[in-house]
Structure 1
Amino acid sequence: MSDPIRAAMASVSREDFLPEGQRAQAAIDAPLPIGWGQTNSQPHTVEAMLRLLEVGAGMRVLDVGAGSGWTTALLAHLVGESGSVVGVEIVPQLRERATAALGRFDPRHARVELAERGVLGWPVEAPYDRVLVSAAARSLPTPLVEQLGDGGILVVPVRGVMTRVVRGADGSAVVTEHGAYRFVPLLDW
């Protein structure tokens, strides 16, 4: 049986989403700077997050802190053309770069939007089946939990601990922790 996450990571080159000066470092399993104080997360960490997220074909996914657009493209590969992915990024220049990189990859079912001032996530298109956050939150981001549909899963580093939230049909949330990780902080307005 094939591993869809490994297949996605083999198909979507990290190098294509890095700034020119970082591309030679793409194979290194380490976070790489992409400008404006942000990083492209290390592949091992991205793989662990995607496994916790349990993304399947046809799902609607929100990618918060899309940065370079690499995770958005990986998610697009996992959901396939029957699904959709919207990334949000707070830094306009990174959003532009991510959009250009996605354009070369050509997933018609994925895009990166500029985050709206005072709004966490992209609630206008909620609910989502899955929400991935690639930046460290100070506390569990309730607005993102609220953007999940019934049975939806949120994966977010909170105070250095990878946190997984599964939303129940009654609005309840089951929260589990999955090890220590370092991320740039989740920027807010």
Structure 2
Amino acid sequence: MYEHLEYYGVSKKVIEAMNKIDRKLFVPPEYQDSAYVDTPLPIGYGQTISAPHMVGLMCEYLELREGNKVLEVGTGSGYNAAVMSLLVGPTGKIYTVEVVKPLYDRAKKIIQQLGLENVEVFLSDGKFGLEEFAPYDKITVTCYAKEIPPALIEQLSDGGILLIPVGDEYVQILKRIRKHGTKIAEESLGHVRFVPMV
């Protein structure tokens, strides 16, 4: 279904994981007809489910591996967490936080229905990360921030990767941060369009 994502540079491994998770389950009833279209869709409360190509690219940029411990800031629909759960495998773990309670409730229910035992959903303000399970091999943020929250860098493991859109409502750059001891290496991966961190 998502084979066209290879043109964006998404690997077959990531595409295979995306094909195994039915995006339609995470899309509100009024948008079911567009569930497989490569576009973001509203999920309520001012939030969206990202376009499939963006989900695929962010999984690639994170360099997810079997056994990785991942923090996701902004559960949203839960789709991204579900895809990542397959990429980190049964020895990996996805911790995902959502600040909007109805979205948290809905995502948690779907994740449980799918039997994804390596995903835990938390109702929490993501700008503070999730300190109790830190450090994380990978941290991904699915909403833009005006600046990188210090807590997220602090909770990143040595050698870890943080992926976050940074900017404002008009211009956002997807940043990839690599942490090596006390040193931080930052690279820009291009312009993106995300909803704001709330």
TM-score range, shorter chain: over 0.9
Deviation larger for 4-13 or 173-182: 4-13
Structure 1 moving runs of 4+ over 2 Å: none
Q: Does 1:8 align with 2:20?
A: no
Give deviations 1:137-177, integer Å, cap 9, x for gaps. Answer: 10122211111101010111111101000110x22110000
Which residue is 1:97 aligned to? Answer: 106
Corresponding residue for 1:34?
43
- Structure 2: where are the runs of 5+ without partners? 1-10
Matched, 1:171 2:182: yes
User: Number of matched residues?
Assistant: 184
Report the Cα distance in structure 1 between the residues aligned to 2:112 and 2:122, rounded to whole angstroms: 13
52, 65, 69: which one pairs with 2:74?
65
Matching residue's letter, 2:179: R
Deviations 1:31-55 (A, max 9, x none): 1000000000111111111111000
Percent identity of equivalent pairs: 38
Task: Please point out which of 39, 60, 71 is paired with 1:51.
Answer: 60
Counterparts of residues 106-121 of structure 1 (less than 5 Å): 106-116=115-125, 120-121=128-129
2 CA distance for matches of 1:154 and 1:54? 11
Alignment gaps of 5+ in structure 1: none
* RMSD, aligned α-carbons: 1.3
TM-score (norm 1): 0.93
Hey, what's the Cα distance between the residues in 2 that align with 1:54 and 1:102?
23
SS at match of 2:128: coil
